[in-house]
């Protein structure tokens, strides 16, 4: 635990990529393999176990210190980080040296995972006992592990780079080895570093290549930045779920971009992949389609959240896989080949283009399709196609350089997202909550509402879009117009109007307003408007697509 704590603070204390890689390499070189496997799971963004709730920790800390609960809450509001708040208010440990021998694997298995399913009395006993053994800097890390909320400022790419240096292999090869579930134990971590280790795991996908958003979206700027249109391939930017379909040996596996195996959620796609020749890996998009039309993303998301698809769900939300890249063919890694070559081979493997719903044709049949290329002779032609995107149920265009390899991560320059302009509406701030980290003590998290039948109803939460100076000014107004307080949340008198942008809107039974907006964010403080000038729920509902 002490070694992992040192790593955490070493990473937290620098913005230098070189120093972060060195810290990771030093830790993995010295840590027991069991501890290293646990650390890798956390550092790679793996799903963490939440052994106790933050409410329980606050309650137990108040009892341990003798402080009233409201004082702990006030401290939290000012510090902005619960793990740090509790570490600071708790009494000094009686014997911190006793925790020096606890390895991270032991802490994770016995002290954290072992608490799941335990009664509250046992959890409290274990937590308060550990508090007495850890120094404040270790408590902070332990609290984050305990609540499943530890985040470290390193990317998977940096982790792969450090491990590649340690193993003496290429970084791209290590990135491939890290795809899917991280090593679960010491033996798995040892295989990860060994020469020729598990790299040919037949179920493993490749690291995803991610596109970057264009900084300038006007057609004249796109033409200026990207050059000759003939050097680019344009495709629709699907509003679906990125995935890789892997067919090797007797196995067919389907992986989400989050590196989760989703075979059971999409069994019909797995079945569609079985006729593919062994040694095939497709990159593409999962889309929900019925009667030749795209279904809203919310329906696809609802299905994807299920561990296993029932017959009812299969009927209500039928899905297809639209392939747009070929990463492996006949067992050969094609990622260094130009996109133009990969695309030609892809066309020989996958059936006709997925165009029926785009042109109002017959109902879509089959499950595996080729993503169509959007043909155009100029950037102006492509801009005209892009303008049709929302009506087609897509988010805009993807622009891919025909000579580009399939890179790892977000490598800028070869793949771009040319998205349509977002939907917008003016909304009123109703609730505000203090932020965390550098925004601790400032109310920077907002709940916004629209008018409906003479009252304001909540429709979205937004956490970004204002400048630091504006956040300070809004915080002052929030404090001056607070009507009620409920813990860290303030209910405000309707005063502030914000221009809210979002990618889409759909009907929802989970929200009181009956609608859900996707990726909401503030784009402008409308100082020129009064709350009475804000939009209505009816305005928002008119933005919902006809089928959704």
Can you read off the two tokens belonging to residue 409? 């991560």
Tokens of 289: 């389609």
Residues 6+ apart with CB under 8 A from 228: none
Supply angle C-alpha 284, 287, 289, rounded to 5.
Answer: 145
**Could you give phi then psi for residue 334, rounded to 5 degrees?**
-100, 5
List C-alpha distances in Å: 261 to 58, 181, 207, 392.
36, 9, 14, 30
Q: Which of 20, 123, 144, 237 is catalytic?
A: 237
Residue 524 structure tokens: 């402008």
Contact 507, 501 (CB under 8 A): no
Say whether 435 sits in a helix, a strand or coil: strand
Alpha-carbon distance values, 83 to 3, 346, 378, 422 (Å): 19, 50, 55, 37
CB 353 within 8 A of CB 343: no
Indicate if 237 belongs to the active site.
Answer: yes
- On whether the CB atoms of residues 194 and 203 are closer than 8 A, the answer is no
Please give the angle made by the CA atoms of 346, 352 and 355, to the nearest 5 degrees: 115
Backbone angles phi, psi at 396, to 5 degrees: 140, -145
**Per-residue DSSP letter, 203:** T
Q: Which residues are catalytic?
A: 237
């Amino acid at each position: 635990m002490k070694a992992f704590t040192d790593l955490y603070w070493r990473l937290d204390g620098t913005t230098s990529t070189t120093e972060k890689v060195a810290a990771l390499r030093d830790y993995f070189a010295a840590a027991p393999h069991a501890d290293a496997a646990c650390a890798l799971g956390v550092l790679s963004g793996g799903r963490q176990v939440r052994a106790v709730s933050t409410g329980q920790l606050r309650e137990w800390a108040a009892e341990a210190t003798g402080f009233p609960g409201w004082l702990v809450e006030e401290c939290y509001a000012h510090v902005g980080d619960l793990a740090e708040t509790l570490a600071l208010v708790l009494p000094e440990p009686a014997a911190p040296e006793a925790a020096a021998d606890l390895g991270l694997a032991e802490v994770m298995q016995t002290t954290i995972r072992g608490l799941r399913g335990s009664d509250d009395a046992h959890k409290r006993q274990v937590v308060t006992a550990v508090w007495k053994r850890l120094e404040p800097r270790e408590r902070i890390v332990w609290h984050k592990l305990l609540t499943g909320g530890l985040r470290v400022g390193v990317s998977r790419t940096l982790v792969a780079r450090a491990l590649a240096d340690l193993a003496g292999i290429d970084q791209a090869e290590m990135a491939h080895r890290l795809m899917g579930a991280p090593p679960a134990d010491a033996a798995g971590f040892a295989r990860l570093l060994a020469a020729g280790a598990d790299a040919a795991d037949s179920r493993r996908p490749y690291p995803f290549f991610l596109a970057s958003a264009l900084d300038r979206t006007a057609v004249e700027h796109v033409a200026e930045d990207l050059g000759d249109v003939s050097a680019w391939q344009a495709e629709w930017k699907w509003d679906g779920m990125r995935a890789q379909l892997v067919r090797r040996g007797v196995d067919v596996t389907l992986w989400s971009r989050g590196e989760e195996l989703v075979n059971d959620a999409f069994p019909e796609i797995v079945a569609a992949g079985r006729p593919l020749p062994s040694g095939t890996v497709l990159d593409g998009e999962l889309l929900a389609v019925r009667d030749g039309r795209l279904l809203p993303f919310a329906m696809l998301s609802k299905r994807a959240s299920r561990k296993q698809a029932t017959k009812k769900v299969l009927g209500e939300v039928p899905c297809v896989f639209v392939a747009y890249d070929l990463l492996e063919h006949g067992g050969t890694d094609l990622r260094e080949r130009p996109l133009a070559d990969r695309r030609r081979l892809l066309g020989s493997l996958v059936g006709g283009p997925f165009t029926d719903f785009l042109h109002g044709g017959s109902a879509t049949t089959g499950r595996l399709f080729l993503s169509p290329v959007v043909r155009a002779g100029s950037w102006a032609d492509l801009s005209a196609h892009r303008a049709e995107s929302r009506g087609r149920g897509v988010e805009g265009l993807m622009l891919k350089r025909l000579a580009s390899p399939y890179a790892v991560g977000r490598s800028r320059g070869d793949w771009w997202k040319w998205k349509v302009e977002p939907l917008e509406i003016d909304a009123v701030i109703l609730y505000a909550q203090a932020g965390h980290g550098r925004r601790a003590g400032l109310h920077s998290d907002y709940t916004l509402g629209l008018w409906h039948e003479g009252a304001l109803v909540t429709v979205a939460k937004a956490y970004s879009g204002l400048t630091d100076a504006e956040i300070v000014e809004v915080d002052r107004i929030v404090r001056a117009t607070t009507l009620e307080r409920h813990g860290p949340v303030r209910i405000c008198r309707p005063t502030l109007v914000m221009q809210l942008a979002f990618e889409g809107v759909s009907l929802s039974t989970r929200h009181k307003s009956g609608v859900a907006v996707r990726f909401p964010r503030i784009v402008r403080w409308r100082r020129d408007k009064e709350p009475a000038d804000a939009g209505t729920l009816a305005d928002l509902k008119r933005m919902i697509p006809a089928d959704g």
